[in-house]
Amino acid sequence: MTLVIDLNCAFASIEQQHEPKLRGTPLAIAAYATDAATIVSSSREARDLGVKTGMRVFEAKAIYPRIIVREPNPPLYRAASDSLIEILLRHSPDVLRMSIDEASLNLAGTPDLVKLGPEGVGRAIKQAIRAEIGECVTCSVGVSTSIWMAKQASNLDKRDGLQRIDHTNLVSAFERLKLTDLSGIAEATATRLRKAGIRTPIEFLYATPAQLGLAGMRADVANGWHQRLRGFEASSFETAERKSYSHSHVLARATTSQAELEELLMRLSDMVGRRLRAAGRRGSVVSIGVVYRPDIDRLSRQSKLAAPVATGDEIYKAALKLLAARDTRRPVGTLGVGLAGLSDAGPGQMDLFSAPSAPRDARLETAMDAIRNRFGEDAVQRARLLGRAPVVRDRIAFGNTGHPDDR
C-alpha cells in the first residue's frame, strides 16, 4: 500500500507558521515583489476569496486589495520539506520526495502496515507534521495501490484530507473528476482525448487501444495509462527525465536599457548553467523569452548550437545574440533564458580545435558552484556584476525539491 502526502498551501502556510502575524490573513507568495509577478502559493484565506496559484499579483489585488504579498523564502521551505521526509522515514525506508511539498512512501513489508494500517499511518503523519513543522501546516494524504493513484486520492480533499482509492470506490472517485484533474493530463492532452470520443475519466478508464491511438498515443504510452488508471504502478510522470532548464525574472521596473538587460541575461545564464552541471547535463538549444510592458506582447527566439554547452558564459553568449531581435524601443518587463536539447555531460572527447582554456573554464565554474551552494547565489559574481543588486533571487521550481543538488 502506498501513501502520498501533499502539504496544503505549502509556501504560504509555512510562512504563516514562521511569522504568527500572518496567520488568519489572506497571503500570497509571488515570484517577485511586483504587480506583474506570478503567484506561486496562496494561503487558505486567500484561496477562499478566489486568489489562486498562477494569477498575477495585480489580479489578486483586484479581488482583495489588502492581500499581503511576500517573496519566497526557499531555505524555509527546504527545511520543512526535509522535516517531512524525516517523519515519513519513521514509517518506511521506501520514501520518494516527489517535489518540495509532496512525497510518497511504500508501506509494503513494514510493521506499521500491520500495526496501524495505511489510514492510521496517515493520521500519525498528520500529527507529527503539526507537532514538528507547525500547527499552521496541514497535509492531504492519499492512500492507494500505486503512487499515481494515491496522488489522485490526495487531491480529492485538499483541506487536511485523508482519502483512499481502491477497487471498491475507483469508479465513484473518477465520477467526481474531469480529465484535467488527472495527474499528467494537461488541457492539450484532454483536447486530443475528447476528439477521440473520450470526455471523462470513466471513458478514459474503459477506452480501447484503438481509441487511445486516435488520441495520438503511442502503444507504450496507452499501455502505461491502462495500468495507471487501474491502480498498477507504471512509469512515473514525476521522475520522467526533464527536457529543458530555464530561469526567468520579472523586473520591478520595465527597461529598454541594453546594459541592464545584458547584466540580467548574464545572471540568468549562470543560474541555468549551474542547474545543468548539478544534474550532469548539457544542452544544445538556447532560447530567450521577452515580455514587453505594458502591452504584455511576447518575443521568443531560439538557436541550435554546434556543440552542447553547460557553462553560464557559453549560454550567455548564445542568448545575447538572440536578444538582439528585441524591439529596443519597447520596455522589457520579463526576461527568460532556457536550454533544451539535453544530453548527459560525461567526460566526452575533447575537441581538437577547442580553446585551450576550456577545461580551466569548466573547473572554474565548478568551483563557483560549490561556493554558491554553501554561501548563496550572490556569494561570488562575475566582475561586471560586482556591486550590483542581487536582482535574481533563489527560487524553487515546481516538480523538484529546490535543494541545490537538484537544481
Q: Is 93 exposed, middle or buried (0-12, 13-18, 19+ CB in 10 A)?
A: exposed
In a domain, 325, yes or no: yes
User: pTM of the entire structure?
Assistant: 0.66
Q: Report the CATH number at residue 264.
A: 3.30.1490.100
The band of 287, judged by pLDDT with boundaries at 50, 70 and 90, is very high
> Is 388 in the same domain as 289?
yes
Whether 389 and 261 share a structural domain: yes
What's the whole-number mean pLDDT along residues 77-104?
92
CA distance 281 to 299: 27
Q: Cβ–Cβ contacts within 10 Å for residue 39, how many?
A: 23
Reply yes or no on whether the pLDDT at 184 is more than 50: yes
- Kind and range of the H or E run holding 88: helix 74-89
CB 382 within 8 A of CB 268: no
Instruction: Give the pLDDT band of residue 246 (cuts 50, 70, 90).
Output: confident
Q: Out of 15, 102, 365, 377, which one is annotated catalytic? A: 102
Range of the domain at 274: 245-406
- Strands, E assignment, 8-147: 27-30, 39-42, 68-70, 95-99, 102-106, 139-144
Say if residues 265 and 320 touch (Cβ distance below 8 Å): yes
Say yes or no to pLDDT of 74 above 50: yes
Determine the Cα–Cα distance for residues 406 and 275; give it in Å rounded to an integer. 7
- Residue 312 and residue 224 share a domain: no
Q: Are residues 288 and 330 in the same domain?
A: yes
Pair 221, 261 in one domain: no
| 330 shares its domain with 213 | no
Neighbouring-strand partners of residue 190: none
pLDDT at residue 237 in the model: 43
| Other beta carbons less than 10 A from residue 303's beta carbon | 13
Does residue 194 form part of some domain? yes
Q: Specify whether 102 is catalytic.
A: yes
Asked if 179 and 281 sit in the same domain, the reply is no
pLDDT band at 344 (very low <50, low <70, confident <90, very high): confident
Q: What is the mean pLDDT of residues 48-76?
A: 93
- Residues 272 and 354 reside in one and the same domain: yes
15-19, 198-202, 302-306, 372-376: which range is least confident on average?
372-376
77: phi then psi, degrees, rounded to nearest 5: -70, -35
Tens of pLDDT, residue by residue over 137-170, are 999 999 999 999 999 999 999 999 999 999 999 9
Nearest to 205 by CA among 243, 167, 162, 257: 167
State the pLDDT confidence band at 375, using cuts at 50, 70 and 90: low
Q: How confident is the model at residue 403 (pLDDT cuts 50, 70, 90)?
A: very low
Do 201 and 254 lie in one domain? The reply is no
* Tens digit of each residue's pLDDT (9 = 90 or more) over 293-321: 876 688 999 999 999 998 888 999 999 99
